Amino acid sequence: MPTMPGLGETARAIIANGMGILAADETVSTITKRLSAREIESTADSRRAYRELLFSTPGISEYIGGVILQDETIHQDSAAGIPLADLLVGRGIIPGIKVDAGVHPLAGAPGEFVTEGLDGLRERLKEYRELGARFAKWRAVFTLRDGRPSATCIHANAHALARYAALCQEQGLVPIVEPEVLMEGAHALARCEHVTGRVLQAVFTELFAARVTLEGMLLKPNMVTEGHDSARQASVAEVAEATLRVLTRHVPPAVPGIVFLSGGQDAVLATEHLNAINALAGPKPWTLSFSFGRALQDEALDAWRGQRAQVPAAQRAFHHRAWCDSAAALGRYSAAMEGEAGFAPADSTLHTHH
* Residue whose CB is nearest to ligand 13P in the complex, by number: 293
Instruction: Count the site residues for ligand 13P by CB under 6 A.
Output: 10
Any contact of residue 161 with ligand 13P (CB under 6 A)? no
| Residue 351 and residue 327 in contact, taking contact as beta carbons nearer than 8 Å | no
Any contact of residue 51 with ligand 13P (CB under 6 A)? no
Q: How many CA atoms lie within 13 A of 121 on its CB side?
A: 27
Q: How far is the CB of 136 from ligand 13P (least distance, A)?
A: 12
Whether cis (ω within 30° of 0) applies to the bond prior to 149 is yes
**Part in contact with ligand 13P (CB under 6 A); list of ranges 167-175, 288-296, 324-332, 340-348:** 288-296
- Smaller CB distance to ligand 13P: residue 113 or 351? 113
- Smaller CB distance to ligand 13P: residue 182 or 303? 182
- Smaller CB distance to ligand 13P: residue 273 or 294? 294
| Residue 299 and residue 289 in contact, taking contact as beta carbons nearer than 8 Å | no
- Helix residue spans in the chain (DSSP H): 7-14, 28-36, 44-55, 71-74, 84-90, 121-130, 151-170, 189-209, 236-250, 267-279, 294-304, 311-329, 348-351
Any contact of residue 293 with ligand 13P (CB under 6 A)? yes
Put residue 305 in one of left, alpha, beta given phi > 0 → left and psi -120 to 50 → alpha. left
| Residue 269 and residue 1 in contact, taking contact as beta carbons nearer than 8 Å | no
Considering only 63, 204, 292, 318, the residue that binds ligand 13P (CB under 6 A) is 292
d(CA 122, CA 120): 6
Q: How far is the CB of 233 from ligand 13P (least distance, A)?
A: 19
Is residue 284 annotated as a catalytic residue, yes or no? no
By CB under 6 A, what part of segment 178-237 binds ligand 13P?
A: 178
| 155: Cβ contacts below 8 Å, ≥ 6 apart | 202, 206
d(CA 218, CA 134): 13
Any contact of residue 140 with ligand 13P (CB under 6 A)? no
Considering only 134, 198, 250, 294, the residue that binds ligand 13P (CB under 6 A) is 294
Any contact of residue 139 with ligand 13P (CB under 6 A)? yes
> Which residues of the shown chain bind ligand 13P in the complex (CB under 6 A)?
23, 139, 178, 261-263, 292-295
Active-site residue set: 220
